[in-house]
Amino acid sequence: MEEKRTKQEYKQWSQETAPRTKKARNLILAFLVGGVICSIGQIILNLLIVAGMTKDDASSVTTLCMIFLGAFLTGINVYDNIGKAGGAGAAIPVTGFANSIVSPAMEYKKEGYVMGVGAKMFLIAGPVLVYGIVTSIIAGIIYYLLT
């Protein structure tokens, strides 16, 4: 027969039996992975500026390169391993955004290109895109009305 536990006893039992998280290790790995991703972006930016681009143009091209790199690494099943190791360090940069768009598309490609890839591509990133676009439109209207 199973014994009854009070809420306090259950809380204590669950804390004792729960696996310990490695917070310090996860924090350091997230910092290192995020730092490496950002350093790659900075190297690309510096190379483009040295090649003669303006800083604004080089920034745009760097963003495109990082999005491509994130999507490409997701497509060849490498970015998931980077994400497992780096956690938020891999999710926060723009490469993580590319990964969040490409991952559902890769998962549903067996359903076809239109109903699978096309319909599921924005499964995760769709709400973020809609929120960003609507917010920018509202901010633009407010800016227009105040100036």
Tokens of 101: 């768009």
Per-residue pLDDT of the chain (147 residues; tens, 9 = 90+): 456 778 888 888 888 788 877 888 999 999 999 999 999 999 999 999 999 999 999 999 999 999 999 989 988 889 989 999 998 888 888 888 888 777 777 766 666 655 665 566 666 666 767 777 888 999 999 999 998
Task: Note the pTM of the prediction, 2 decimals.
Answer: 0.66
- Of the candidates 86, 112, 114, 115, the one whose C-alpha atom is nearest the C-alpha of residue 99 is 86
